[in-house]
Amino acid sequence: MKTLATLILITTAIFSAVAQDPMAIAIELVATQKGDQGIDMKATVTDDENSEPVKGLTIQFSGTAGEQTVALGEATTNELGIAELKGGNFDALRKVAHAFTFTATFAGNENYETNHASVDLAEVAIELKAETIDSVNTVIVNVTSWNEKGEAVPFSEGEVKVYVPRMFSLLPIGDITTDEDGYGELKFPNDLPSSVSGELTIVARIEEHETFGNAETSVVSNWGVKVDAQASKLPRALWSPDAPLWMVVTFVVLMVGVWYHYGLIVYELIKVHRLSKPTDPLDFSE
pLDDT tens figures, 227-260: 765 554 666 766 666 778 888 889 899 999 999 9
Indicate if 56 and 110 belong to the same structural domain.
yes
Question: Nearest Cα to 152, choosing from 119, 181, 185?
Answer: 181
122, 137, 161 - which closes a domain: 122
Give 36's contacts (C-beta < 8 A, 6+ positions apart).
none
Same domain for 91 and 150: no
Instruction: Note whether 105 and 71 are same-domain residues.
Output: yes
pTM above threshold 0.95? no
Domain that holds residue 43: 2-122
Dihedral pair phi/psi, residue 11, rounded to 5°? -60, -45
Number of domains in the chain: 2
Q: Point out the domain boundary residue: 172, 191, 221.
A: 221
Q: Are residues 193 and 176 in the same domain?
A: yes
Among 221, 243, 269, the domain-final residue is 221
Whether residues 26 and 110 fall in one domain: yes
Nearest by Cα to 202 from 183, 184, 189? 189
Per-residue pLDDT of 76-110, as tens digits, reads 999 999 999 999 999 999 999 999 999 999 999 99
- CA gap 258, 248 in Å, rounded: 15
Q: Where does 146-244 have alpha helices with state H?
A: none
Q: Is residue 145 part of a domain?
A: yes
Q: What is the pLDDT of residue 139?
A: 97
Residues 25 and 82 in one domain: yes
